Amino acid sequence: MTYSLFLRWLLVILIGGIAYPALAQKTDSRYFEMRTYHCHEGKRPDLIKRFQDHTVKLFEKSGIENIAYFLPVDESNNTLTFILAYPNRESRDRLWNTFANDPEWKAVFKQSEANGPLLTKIDQTFMTLAPELSSGIAKLPSEERIFELRTYFLHPGRVDAINARFRDHTRALFERHGMTNVVYWYTVEPDNAQPKLVYLLAHKGVEEAKNSFDKFRDDPDWKRVRDASEVSGPIVERIESKYFKTLPFSPLK
């Protein structure tokens, strides 16, 4: 290839991949925030009403994208979990401050807490898409389902290993056993500490989820993949799993 031809080839790729679209896939740069609100006894209905009537719209007004709103399937768990997205990491604080300082939000907040605070504490997790595992959030058909949020705490230095195992094998094996891959993230940890893998699966129900995982764990292909991937040592230190149902105003359902 002559130098002039090389420059023309490179230019085609850089300006959008007209001739080679596979080389020019758009990267989803959104910065995600998962927040879990722990409610005072008897206050969760008030919190849900505040979100439904005001907060969701005020997030949108401030340029924040609503992704999902969940309640735990476990009725004894007095929390509400939701996921937001910002255009990128740099925009997060600016957009959140725009929301927090909105006079309309301040009035809503004050009115909703006239009879006492709604929350005891807030858990907060920042995340970015796992680019080799998710191109975005899956579009799901309209039907009844529950979601399972799974968080993998990894042994030191094992992020590449878990990524390769999910990329090459695990996601397809989940689908084989009736589970739907919705989205995969890596957490953004303070001080650039090792991230956790966080992902959402969809199931028809809790019992169906448990049955699917039983079949997955007994699958000979999974056992071979697991053993081969752990030749140099274990990958996952521990797993947290939570089942959720969506609220009526949740974009993800």
Domains in the chain (CATH in brackets) are 31-127 (3.30.70.100), 130-246 (3.30.70.100)
pLDDT at 22: 35
* Pairwise CA distance, residues 125 & 34, whole Å: 5
Tens of pLDDT, residues 128-162: 999 999 999 999 999 999 999 999 999 999 999 99
Q: Is the pLDDT of residue 12 over 50?
A: no
pLDDT at 26: 60
Average pLDDT of the segment spanning 85-96? 98
Q: In sequence order, which residues have a C-beta less than 8 Å from that of residue 55 and are 6 or more positions away?
A: 105, 108
Average pLDDT of the segment spanning 206-232? 98
User: How are beta strands 31-39 and 79-86 bridged, if at all?
Assistant: antiparallel
Average pLDDT of the segment spanning 47-58? 99
> Which of 121, 108, 109 shows the shortest CA–CA distance to 40?
121
pLDDT at 3: 45
In DSSP notation, 193-248 reads PPPPEEEEEEES-HHHHHHHHHHHHH-HHHHHHHHHHTTTS--EEEEEEEEEEE-T
What is the percent of the chain with per-residue pLDDT over 90, rounded to a whole number?
88
Q: Where does the pLDDT of residue 6 fall: very low under 50, low under 70, confident under 90, or very high at 90 and above?
A: very low
* Pairwise CA distance, residues 25 & 4, whole Å: 25
Q: Where does the pLDDT of residue 27 fall: very low under 50, low under 70, confident under 90, or very high at 90 and above?
A: confident
* Pairwise CA distance, residues 60 & 67, whole Å: 11
pTM of the model: 0.89
For residue 69, give both structure tokens: 């709103």
Q: In whole numbers, what is the pLDDT of the chain averaged over residues?
A: 92
* Pairwise CA distance, residues 78 & 95, whole Å: 28
Q: Is the pLDDT of residue 101 over 70?
A: yes
* Pairwise CA distance, residues 40 & 53, whole Å: 20
Q: Is the pLDDT of residue 100 over 80?
A: yes
